[in-house]
Amino acid sequence: MPVKLLMSWDIAPEREQEYFEFVVREFIPGVQRMGFELSDAWATVFGTQPQILVGAVAPTSNKARQILESDEWKSLQNQLMDYVRNYNDKIVDMRAGFQF
């Protein structure tokens, strides 16, 4: 059964340009190379929710956990932490429509 990795964060102040360059050049290709398929990305423009929400689909829960435990994932996630604050993630069963 497919699962979705839901990730949320806020972009670090004063790091916006570097953040966007990293996400486009390294984060998105890295996530896809490891086996996730990006399904959605949302930006909060008003309110107190996380600024960014990203969904990535894996074919099974086991595959998602295997990716998240890999050294490649840990390295990519550590790089992301240079540009973001309040990072959270969770794996949920995939459903149609928006998931938070």
pLDDT of residue 94: 83
* 49-63 per-position pLDDT tens digit: 899 999 999 999 999
b/e per residue 14-51 (b: at least 16 CB within 10 A): eeeeebeebbeeebbebbeebbbeeeeeeeeeeeeebb
| Interatomic CA distance for residues 83 and 93, integer angstroms | 28
Query: What is the per-residue pLDDT for 99?
Result: 61
pLDDT tens digit sequence for 11-68: 999 999 999 999 999 999 999 999 999 999 999 988 888 999 999 999 999 999 999 9
The string of DSSP codes covering 19-30 is HHHHIIIIIHHH
